[in-house]
Amino acid sequence: MALIKQSSKRASERPGLTTGGLVAAMLTAALISVFYLAWKVVGLPFVPFDAFDWMARILPGQILAAGIDAMVTVIRAFNLGPTAAAAKTAEHVMAIAGMFFMGLLVGTILFSIIRAVRGRYAVILGLALGIALGIPLQLISQRVGQTASTGPELSAIWVLGALLLWGAMLGWADQQLLAGGSTVVDARPAGQPARGDTAERIDRRHFLVRLGGATAVVTVIGAVVGELSEVRKRVSGATGKDLLWSSTHPLPNADAAMKPVPGTRPEFTPLERHYRIDIDTIPPVVNPQRWRLNVDGLVEKPLTLTLDELQRFEPMHQFITLSCISNPVGGDLIGTTRWTGVSLQQLLPSLRLQAGATHLKIHAADGFYEIVSLETIRSDERVMLTYAWDGVPLLPEHGFPLRIYIPDLYGMKQPKWIESIEVTDHWEPGFWVIRGWDKVARMTATSVIDTVAVDMTIINADRRRLVPIGGIAHAGARGISKVELQVDDGPWQEAALRTPLSRLTWTIWRYEWPFDHGKHTFTVRCYEGSGTPQISTPSPVEPSGATGLYSKTEMF
């Protein structure tokens, strides 16, 4: 009878799902770290990022839009830094967390199955789980192909092999847990304290500690060595400041009489601070030696152009402000720099289009695509294929080796990492249009207060104290004719405008407000070059870009 009771007690004290989940969590963390190390050092696929990018391509547009909106809202609400950089960091965290929780879930399910069959076939079941996850994940990695610089065969073998090993280790560890303490002989008489059960629990605890220590070492080594490798690549690949156009040339409006108020965002955006929003956790890997621009479709003969051949055309240099359609009123998903490339209008004769051609379908290396009408290109020489920003080749995160610029449109219509152009006889919706965003995506006029410089007051001739207030106004390619500021419910007062860098950039404005103690709300509005006022009615970023007036409240 004592033996039956002891057997029943041991069965009831088998490790629970929490213990199985802990094992799955430890081994999954180690797997992710090994993936990271192999990616940074060898160039093998980093599966969490590839899987996340794949999800971003298959999810419905409404879900993507809601996710983007929520991310931007949180970043601004908690002041988490530049929106573009914080958003990419958030994407990286979500990608890694997604794989971690997937491993935790399926690992816990595996443990429950192995426990149900009393530890039999544990390693075989773990290998089956590795295959069940490894095959689709390596296919996803092959399809997206964003992170790997190795060949497809080696990449596939690596992903499948790593997941097979992970599954086998899960099965083995679960088996050890279920067998924990089984070698301890319990020879005590009935009624004596349960020393054998205590030994069994201690044995399992020691196993978990040893497993935790081993997986922690693997996780830390993978993360640290991988990050050190990344830092070394950044240092070796950094662009020299002496190469930048802006480091050796004055801006075209350097002599403008009106000076920006200190605290206004830089008129010319440094490359490292220019926003980046796209569908990728990391930039696509493009080999500059192998890259070609392939042109096919309704052309007399398919054409292939190298970057050197594109650069032989007369270059076009334009100062351009680009904004993301997801930029909220007053947001920082906007930047200004000097673009260099070849006018598509100038390039068209070389393409030798057929008579029925009406549109160009631009394909990017990351699967993004957009449609540009030939009518737009023929009517506006400013539409160009761009290969340099601020006098240096495009940075990888900003579209190297080639991106397009189309005046007056949000960035969602302007592919980066261009690899081919298909000439067609019809319009079709682009990547984001299919997902519910605006068909035209024309930039809306917007104005922003960047600073109320109360610590830089001016005493005028009448001995009045004036507080400089400054910011930007932008209306795509339509220009800005006037900016006005309202204090509380007072009258609208016209601000001074600085000569812009070009007709395609934002305009810096300045207003000197007569100081008054108390709490005040400042509101700004602008007018397009034609005199059309900006839209004052608030609207969200989806689907056509945010509208509404920007206000800032200060206590003096």
- CATH no. for residue 529? 2.60.40.650
Whether residues 150 and 277 share a domain: the answer is no
Whether residues 227 and 339 share a domain: the answer is no
3-state secondary structure 328-343: CCCCCCEEEEEEEEEE
Q: Cα–Cα distance between 158 and 166 in angstroms, integer? A: 12
pLDDT single digits (tens) 153-198: 999 999 999 999 999 999 999 999 998 644 444 444 555 544 555 5
* pLDDT greater at residue 196 or residue 14: 14
Average pLDDT over residues 4-24: 70
The pLDDT value given to residue 13: 62
Most confident of 7-21, 92-106, 143-157: 92-106
Whether residues 40 and 168 share a domain: the answer is yes
Specify the CATH number for the domain of residue 316. Answer: 3.90.420.10
Whether residues 486 and 550 share a domain: the answer is yes
Q: Cα–Cα distance between 111 and 274 in angstroms, integer? A: 48
**Residue type for 218, please?**
V
- List the alpha helices (DSSP H) in 117-194: 122-144, 152-178
8-state DSSP, 396:
G
User: Does the pLDDT value for residue 6 go beyond 50?
Assistant: no
Other Cβ atoms less than 10 A from the Cβ of 531: the count is 8
Q: Are 96 and 8 in contact (CB under 8 A)?
A: no
Q: Which domain-ending residue is among 186, 214, 235?
A: 235
Whether residues 11 and 157 share a domain: the answer is yes
Closest CA to 159 of 182, 188, 130, 181: 130
The pLDDT value given to residue 202: 62
Whether residues 393 and 472 share a domain: the answer is no
Whole-number average pLDDT of the chain: 91
Residue 379 is assigned to a structural domain of this protein:
yes
CA distances for 91 relative to 20, 179, 352, 370, 397, angstroms: 28, 40, 42, 23, 15
Torsion angles phi and psi, residue 381, rounded to 5: -70, -10
Give Cβ neighbours of residue 156 (< 8 Å, ≥ 6 apart): 138, 141, 142
The pLDDT value given to residue 185: 40
Residue 313 is assigned to a structural domain of this protein:
yes
The pLDDT value given to residue 229: 76
Number of domains observed in the structure of the chain: 3
Q: What angle do CA 281, 239, 412 make, to 5 degrees?
A: 40
Give Cβ neighbours of residue 205 (< 8 Å, ≥ 6 apart): none
**Does the N-terminal peptide bond of residue 262 adopt cis geometry, omega within 30 degrees of 0?**
no
Whether residues 177 and 36 share a domain: the answer is yes
pLDDT single digits (tens) 204-236: 889 999 999 999 999 999 999 888 877 666 555
Whether residues 376 and 466 share a domain: the answer is no
Strand 293-297 and strand 418-424: the pairing is parallel
Of 41-50, 300-309, 403-412, 454-463, the least confident: 454-463
Average pLDDT over residues 485-503: 97
User: Does the pLDDT value for residue 441 go beyond 60?
Assistant: yes
The pLDDT value given to residue 364: 97
Domain span at residue 319 reads: 271-434
Residue 264 is assigned to a structural domain of this protein:
no
The pLDDT value given to residue 23: 96
Residue 58 is assigned to a structural domain of this protein:
yes
Whether residues 508 and 407 share a domain: the answer is no
H or E element that contains 83: helix 83-116
Q: How many helices (H) and strands (E) does the chain have?
A: 12, 19
Please provide the size of the chain in residues.
Answer: 556
User: Does the pLDDT value for residue 59 go beyond 70?
Assistant: yes
Of 64-78, 125-139, 340-354, 487-501, the least confident: 64-78
Residue 441 is assigned to a structural domain of this protein:
no
Prediction pTM value:
0.89
Residue 247 is assigned to a structural domain of this protein:
no
The pLDDT value given to residue 204: 84
Exposure string for 419-436, b = 16+ CB within 10 A, e = fewer = bbbbbbeeeeebbbbebe
Q: Which domain-ending residue is among 189, 211, 235?
A: 235
pLDDT band, residue 530 (cuts 50/70/90): very high
Whether residues 364 and 424 share a domain: the answer is yes
* pLDDT greater at residue 145 or residue 34: 34
Other Cβ atoms less than 10 A from the Cβ of 288: the count is 10
* Chain mean position to CA 176: 42
The pLDDT value given to residue 459: 84
Whether residues 288 and 215 share a domain: the answer is no
The pLDDT value given to residue 312: 97
Whether residues 123 and 167 share a domain: the answer is yes
Residue 212: both structure tokens together: 């935790």
pLDDT cut 90: percent of the chain above it: 82
pLDDT band, residue 239 (cuts 50/70/90): very low
Residue 77 is assigned to a structural domain of this protein:
yes
Exposure string for 198-234, b = 16+ CB within 10 A, e = fewer = ebbeebbeebbeebeeebeebbeebbeebeebeeeee
Residue 10: both structure tokens together: 């041991």
Residue 250 is assigned to a structural domain of this protein:
no
Q: Which domain-ending residue is among 382, 414, 434?
A: 434
